[in-house]
């Protein structure tokens, strides 16, 4: 059964289906974002990893590939946060996603410009705080999700947040199919957001050697949370590099990060003073702390090696546990069509169940 499923999310974002492609550093580029939007979903461009001076061009690139609304992700502690904010407002971008960085004044500035503010949260208290600060929609990411992630699974966090806030809630962490979409809607969510599933599409920029490693990972327990990379819990496919980092002492990891930071600072043209300013900015943020600040430089270097250079042995592969149940690449178009078809089938089966015409779980 074909279905459309109009929700508060589709109304606010202007997409056809309640399916969001989340921002993934170096992965959610203009092509992936536009492919999602052209297929009827809503894509977020990974603005937090766009080099200073390149944001305008990246947004124009998305616009050249799709006439549909899309979003941009950013972090307040990225060196060019103001550049992203200005570009988002100037281009009339439909929505922004972010973590815990922006204050109420920044959120007000975006909302006054008509930008939908849609943070991602991994804990109940962060959801409540995000709404107090002005969020229009909250994406709730359960612990099974990819990238930086919390400890509470989607099945527990999602209803907790739905009970606590009055804005539309989007479910993330572990979704890949139409069953998941219907389950999220049944909880009361307005849609689903997926990272890993969109990374594993033919529209993804990730090189084939790394995509192969993701697809070969069949055991969800081998997609692990580690704090060894930047000091914060983050989920990765367990590979040679992750094991090496986990086996290193903390001083060795800090020294490695300092080397990467010097290299990165030179490339970004920051100089010692600029680096110190950025460090203080990160430390002042909620997710700060000396250790985390120093180790933050490990992440871009090693993740780019995994998902940009396509080295699944010496680089890192951020991933949700859902990668273990994804067997093949699909285009964004095929993925979204399939999810909507499966959702329609599940809804029809549930309608039969509610009408007393079927007994779910009985052998047929
Ligand atoms: C490769 C990868 C990179 C990510 N990078 C970011 C990022 O830069 N910023 C961010 O807010 N979330 C990031 N995330 C988290 C995703 O946006 C999303 O919330 C998460 O993947 C959802 O869980 P799922 O993977 O189970 O669908 C990343 C996730 C992955 C898999």
What CATH number does residue 122 fall under? 3.20.20.70
| Best mutation site among 147, 196, 217 for ligand 1 pocket (most ligand atoms within 8 Å of CB) | 147
Per cent of the chain over pLDDT 90 is 78
Show Cβ contacts of residue 67 under 8 Å, excluding neighbours closer than 6 positions. Answer: none
Q: Of 113-117, 120-124, 266-270, 303-307, where does mean pLDDT reach its minimum?
A: 266-270
Same domain as 127, residue 198: yes
Q: Within this chain, do residues 187 and 231 fall inside the same structural domain, yes or no?
A: no
168 with 49, same domain: the answer is yes
Residues 138 and 165: their CA atoms lie apart, in Å, by: 9
Which amino acid residue places its CA nearest to atom 16 of ligand 1? Answer: 195
Q: 116 is written with which tokens?
A: 């939908």
Q: Is residue 36 part of a domain?
A: yes
Find the mean pLDDT for residues 53-74: 98
- pLDDT tens-digit map of 74-92: 999 888 999 999 999 999 9
How many domains is the chain built from? 2
Please give the helix or strand (H or E) that residue 116 lies within, else none. strand 116-117
User: How many CB atoms within 10 Å of residue 16?
Assistant: 18
pLDDT of residue 205: 98
Instruction: Report the percent of the chain where pLDDT is more than 70.
Output: 88
Residue with tokens 């914060």: 232
36 three-class SS: helix
Best residue among 19, 24, 332 to mutate for probing ligand 1's pocket (most ligand atoms within 8 Å of CB) is 24
pTM for the model stands at 0.91
Q: How confident is the model at residue 229 (pLDDT cuts 50, 70, 90)?
A: confident
Domain assignment of residue 299, given as a range: 209-322
Residue 353 lies in a domain: no
Nearest CA owner, ligand 1 atom 13? 24
Strands 147-148 and 234-237: antiparallel
For ligand 1, mutation pick of 81, 122, 146, 184 (most atoms within 8 Å of CB): 146
* Residue ID of nearest Cα to ligand 1 atom 6: 24
- Statement to judge: residues 121 and 235 lie in one domain: no
Ligand 1 site, residue 196, Cβ cutoff 6 A: yes
Taking only the tens place, the pLDDT of each residue in 314-356 is: 999 999 999 999 999 999 999 999 999 999 999 999 999 999 9
Structure confidence at residue 261 (pLDDT) = 65
């Amino acid at each position: 059964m074909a279905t459309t499923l109009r929700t508060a999310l589709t109304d606010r974002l202007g997409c056809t289906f309640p399916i969001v492609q989340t921002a993934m550093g170096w992965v959610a580029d203009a092509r992936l974002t536009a492919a999602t939007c052209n297929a009827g979903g809503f894509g977020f461009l990974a603005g937090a990893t766009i080099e200073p001076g390149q944001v305008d061009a990246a947004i124009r690139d998305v616009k050249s590939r799709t006439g549909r609304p899309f979003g941009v992700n950013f972090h307040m502690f990225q060196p060019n946060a103001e550049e992203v904010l200005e570009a988002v407002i100037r281009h009339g971008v439909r929505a922004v996603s972010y973590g815990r960085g922006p204050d109420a004044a920044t959120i007000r500035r975006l909302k006054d410009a008509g930008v939908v503010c849609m943070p991602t949260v991994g804990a109940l208290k962060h959801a409540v705080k995000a709404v107090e600060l002005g969020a229009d929609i909250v994406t709730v990411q359960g612990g099974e999700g990819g990238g930086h992630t919390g400890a509470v699974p989607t099945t527990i966090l999602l209803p907790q947040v739905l009970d606590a806030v009055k804005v539309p809630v989007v479910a993330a962490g572990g979704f890949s199919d139409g069953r998941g979409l219907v389950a999220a809607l049944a909880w009361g969510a307005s849609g689903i957001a997926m990272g890993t599933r969109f990374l594993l599409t033919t529209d993804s920029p990730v090189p084939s050697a790394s995509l192969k490693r993701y697809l070969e990972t069949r055991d969800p327990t081998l997609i692990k949370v580690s704090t060894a990379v930047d000091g914060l819990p983050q989920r990765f496919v367990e590979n040679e590099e992750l094991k090496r980092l986990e086996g290193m002492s903390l001083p060795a990891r800090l020294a490695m990060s300092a080397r990467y930071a010097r290299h990165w600072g030179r490339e970004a043209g920051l100089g010692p003073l600029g680096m110190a300013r950025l460090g203080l900015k990160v430390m002042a943020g909620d997710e700060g702390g000396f250790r985390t600040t120093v180790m933050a430089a490990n992440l871009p270097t090693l993740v780019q090696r995994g998902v940009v250079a396509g080295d699944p042995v010496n680089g890192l592969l951020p991933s949700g546990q859902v990668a273990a149940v994804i067997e093949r690449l699909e285009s964004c178009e095929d993925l979204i069509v399939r999810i909507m078809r499966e959702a329609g089938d599940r809804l029809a089966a549930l309608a039969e169940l509610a009408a007393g015409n079927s007994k779910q779980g009985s052998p047929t």
